[in-house]
């Protein structure tokens, strides 16, 4: 008997055994039959009267009978004692069967029955079978292995020939256009991307990179001569011992920075003058007036609601709502004050826009609500500035605690105090 067929039969046998106890019908007592027959009525004409129903007391007495019978059956099951087979013994029997001893198969079936009747191995049997199925088996044919493999792995049905996995992987990779990339494939891909507009022409970028590699060719001749002369001068000083290499390197770096600024000025002078259209655009930009009121400090952005009511009356209850918005960065607060204000404000602060919004509709008139918004803003700023003082006090307290814990410092401090006290006593009055 092959191991694959054995595993299949073993699994089906265990399933039938465990399901048999649940599928078997329980014995029907005579009392339940009497109850069911009393509720049933054969088909007849309307003139026939239905049979009288039983009294509720009798029904209760009859319902107690099935419970007694079930308890008796449970007590009988408890009286049956079956010797349990441990996992170690069960695994040893299966290993003997795998080694070629087919006569031990009845003992295995008996062990399965004992384990099922004990009711202790309903879950461990499945784990044991899965564990033994992972172990490679000898003398297994392709057909038997394929039947078991299909039961375990149903998702592999898409592959036509499962045993030729190498050919399947090769075909899959050949369909991938980006696999085994070479120069011709790369050029075709870049060309297609530039034609469709996904990429720009890379020639300009390549030229810039080449110029960056050979940056010395971009410098004017005057700058090149100055750099070479300065380099030779510093090299001679280092060779004679007048300068150390580190100092010469710093001096050459400073000279390079000066040459870069000078080269930028030369290139700006060589550029052609701007055209009239460009100058007109810049003049227009300068003439644009920004929404920035005169004065210093943060910009306060007000928002109010205006409702035109019928009848010519200018006052409306919804006109009193006022919103004040201000940017946190423009308040000029420190880091600790900013954090304290952010914690106090909560959801009124919009982190994406870095904006604080204050709303007021406490008073009937709009101007009073504006004053209320300003008072709230000043109070928030005054409270946030207290964070700097708290941080300073915390720092000084931390430093004092660290100095007090240092015995050497405390000894020096006591000596200094004692010397100062003696000096004041010796001074003439």
Res. 21 pLDDT band, cuts 50 70 90:
very low
- CATH architecture of the domain with residue range 313-404: 2-Layer Sandwich (3.30)
Measured distance CA(106)–CA(84) in Å, rounded: 16
Closest to 146 (Cα-Cα) out of 4, 290, 309, 356: 4
Q: What is the pLDDT of residues 162-207, one digit of tens each?
A: 566 677 778 777 888 777 778 888 888 878 888 887 777 667 777 7
pLDDT score of 138? 57
- Helix ranges (H only) for 24-158 are 30-39, 56-79, 87-98, 105-118, 124-133, 142-152
251's tokens: 């001096």
pLDDT score of 47? 46
Lowest mean pLDDT, pick from 112-116, 245-249, 276-280, 362-366: 276-280
- Which has more confidence, 99 or 165? 99
In the chain, where are the structural domains located? 3-25+55-140, 221-270, 313-404
The pTM for the full model equals: 0.31
Residue 323 in 3-state DSSP?
strand
**Half-sphere exposure (Cβ direction) of 31: Cα atoms closer than 13 Å:** 12
The two most distant CA atoms of the chain are separated, in Å, by 141
Closest to 297 (Cα-Cα) out of 245, 253, 332: 332
pLDDT score of 281? 55
pLDDT above 60 for 30: no
DSSP assignment of 134-171: TS--SS--HHHHHHHHHHH-GGGGG-S-TT-HHHHHHH
Res. 234 pLDDT band, cuts 50 70 90:
confident
Structural contact between residues 129 and 28, judged by C-beta atoms closer than 8 angstroms: no
| Residue 322, strand partner residues | 304, 360
In what order do the strands lie in the sheet containing 322-327?
A: 301-304, 322-327, 355-360, 349-350
pLDDT score of 26? 46
Helix (H) or strand (E) holding 383: helix 366-404
Res. 344 pLDDT band, cuts 50 70 90:
confident
- CA atoms 412, 416, 421, 423: torsion sign: positive
pLDDT above 70 for 32: no
263's tokens: 């080269």
Q: What is the CB neighbour count within 10 angstroms for residue 70?
A: 13
- Helix ranges (H only) for 297-365 are 335-345
| 389-392 contact pairs (CB < 8 A, 24+) | 390/336, 391/336
423's tokens: 């000096």
- Residue whose structure tokens are 């120069």: 183
Query: What single-letter DSSP state applies at residue 353?
Result: T
Q: What is the pLDDT of residues 115-161, one digit of tens each?
A: 878 777 766 767 777 666 666 555 555 554 455 555 555 544 466 66
Measured distance CA(50)–CA(58) in Å, rounded: 19
Closest to 305 (Cα-Cα) out of 370, 375, 353: 370
Res. 64 pLDDT band, cuts 50 70 90:
very low
Measured distance CA(162)–CA(168) in Å, rounded: 8
Res. 366 pLDDT band, cuts 50 70 90:
confident
């Amino acid at each position: 008997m092959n191991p694959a067929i054995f595993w299949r039969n073993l699994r089906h046998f265990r399933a039938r055994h465990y399901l048999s106890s649940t599928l078997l019908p329980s014995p029907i007592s005579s009392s339940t039959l009497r109850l069911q027959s009393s509720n049933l009525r054969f088909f007849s004409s309307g003139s026939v009267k239905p049979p009288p129903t039983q009294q509720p007391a009798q029904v209760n007495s009859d319902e107690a009978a099935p419970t007694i019978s079930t308890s008796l059956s449970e007590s009988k099951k408890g009286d049956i004692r079956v010797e349990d087979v441990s996992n170690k013994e069960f695994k040893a029997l299966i290993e003997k069967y795998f080694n070629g001893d087919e006569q031990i198969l009845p003992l295995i079936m008996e062990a399965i029955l004992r384990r099922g009747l004990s009711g202790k191995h309903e879950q461990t049997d499945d784990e044991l079978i899965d564990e033994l199925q992972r172990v490679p088996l000898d003398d297994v044919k392709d057909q038997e292995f394929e039947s078991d493999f299909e039961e375990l792995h149903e998702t592999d049905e898409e592959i036509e020939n499962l045993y030729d996995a190498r050919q399947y992987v090769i075909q899959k990779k050949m369909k991938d256009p980006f696999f085994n990339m070479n120069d011709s494939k790369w050029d075709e891909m870049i060309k297609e991307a530039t034609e469709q507009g996904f990429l720009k022409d890379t020639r300009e970028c390549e030229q810039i990179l080449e110029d960056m590699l050979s940056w010395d060719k971009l410098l004017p001749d005057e700058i090149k001569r100055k750099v070479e002369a300065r380099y030779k001068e510093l090299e001679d000083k280092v060779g004679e011992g007048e300068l150390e290499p580190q100092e010469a390197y710093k001096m050459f770096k400073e000279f390079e920075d000066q040459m870069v600024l000078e080269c930028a000025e030369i290139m700006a002078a060589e550029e052609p003058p701007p055209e009239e259209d460009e100058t007109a655009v810049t003049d227009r930009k300068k003439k644009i007036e920004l929404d920035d009121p005169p004065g210093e400090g943060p910009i306060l952005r007000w928002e109010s609601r205006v409702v035109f009511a019928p009848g010519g009356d200018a006052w409306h209850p919804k006109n009193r709502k006022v919103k004040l918005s201000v940017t946190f960065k423009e308040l000029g607060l420190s880091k600790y004050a900013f954090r304290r204000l952010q914690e106090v404000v909560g959801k009124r602060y919009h982190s994406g826009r870095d904006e604080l919004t204050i709303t007021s509709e406490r008073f009937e008139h709009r101007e009073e609500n504006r004053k209320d918004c300003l008072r709230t803003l000043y109070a928030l700023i005054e409270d946030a500035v207290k964070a700097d003082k708290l941080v300073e006090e915390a720092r000084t307290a931390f430093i004092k605690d660290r100095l007090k814990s240092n015995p050497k410092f405390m000894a020096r401090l006591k000596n200094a105090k004692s010397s100062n006290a003696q000096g004041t006593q010796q001074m003439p009055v």
